[in-house]
Amino acid sequence: MGIPNKAKKVFSGVIHDIYQWQQELFNGSFATFEMVDRSDTVKVLCVIGDEVIIIEDQQPGWPEPKVTLPGGRVNSGEELIEACIREVKEETGLEFESYELLSKFEVDPKINQTVYTFVARGMILDGDTDLDEGGEIINVKRIKIDRFFDMLKKFEIENFVYSEILPLIIMIMDGREGDAKDVLIGDVGI
């Protein structure tokens, strides 16, 4: 949907901006509507043979780490693939040959943000992470794809991941784990 042209920015934050506008309702009256503007996000499902990369991400202010996928905000002027490469390198130290779009979704009708999830294949570098000093603590784990599927079924992965990888979730919940594994490994297209 995007932020209407008539909206005015009422708050500028480091990560979020807030816009408001007068919206005509169905009965002809008007009300103040709001929308949050946030940079788009990339998440990357990194596949290495029959394993995937998950991270335990601890952010300042969080009561406990969350198990999720590598990823983060897309910087201004940055292409999606560039953001994938940067985020994966920063958080895992890994680099991959290819990135394929798995899904994209709008977070909420009142939040101007799209989350793009990619599958990365063909690891070409296993190096050091480059995390923001004091900004987060990340523990990188390589797990078997079957274990990843089990974790998804048991809701052991951060809840946002489910909407990010919805095509795989549908296959897994429909009893087609083999098809989902084929998609991850790259034997079939997404």
pLDDT digits (tens, 9 = 90+) for 61-82: 888 888 989 999 999 999 999 9
71 CB-side CA count, 13 A: 27
Domain extent, residue 156, equals 39-185
71 and 122 belong to one structural domain? yes
Predicted confidence at residue 161, as pLDDT, reads 65
Confidence of residue 182 (pLDDT cuts 50, 70, 90): confident
Share of residues in the chain with pLDDT > 70 (%): 91
Per-residue b/e over 81-111, b at no fewer than 16 CB within 10 Å? eebbbbbbbbbbebbbeebeebbeeebeeee
pLDDT band per the 50, 70, 90 thresholds, residue 116 = very high
pLDDT of residue 169: 76
Whether the per-residue pLDDT at 189 is higher than 60: the answer is: no
pLDDT for the residue numbered 187: 63
Which of helix, strand or coil describes residue 162?
Answer: helix
61 with 94, same domain: the answer is yes
Structural domain tally of the chain? Answer: 2
Report the pLDDT averaged over residues 127-150: 83
Q: What is the pLDDT of residues 21-44, one digit of tens each?
A: 999 999 999 999 999 999 999 999
Q: pLDDT (tens digit, 9 = 90+) per residue, 119-137?
A: 999 999 777 777 666 677 8
Q: Strand, helix or coil at 4? A: coil
Strands 111-126 and 30-38: parallel
Mean pLDDT of the chain: 88
For residues 20 and 102, state if they share a domain: no
User: Domain for residue 78, yes or no?
Assistant: yes
Lowest mean pLDDT among 50-54, 93-97, 132-136: 132-136
The answer to whether residues 27 and 110 belong to one domain is no
- 99 shares its domain with 19: no
Q: With 80 as the cut, is the pLDDT of residue 158 above it? A: no
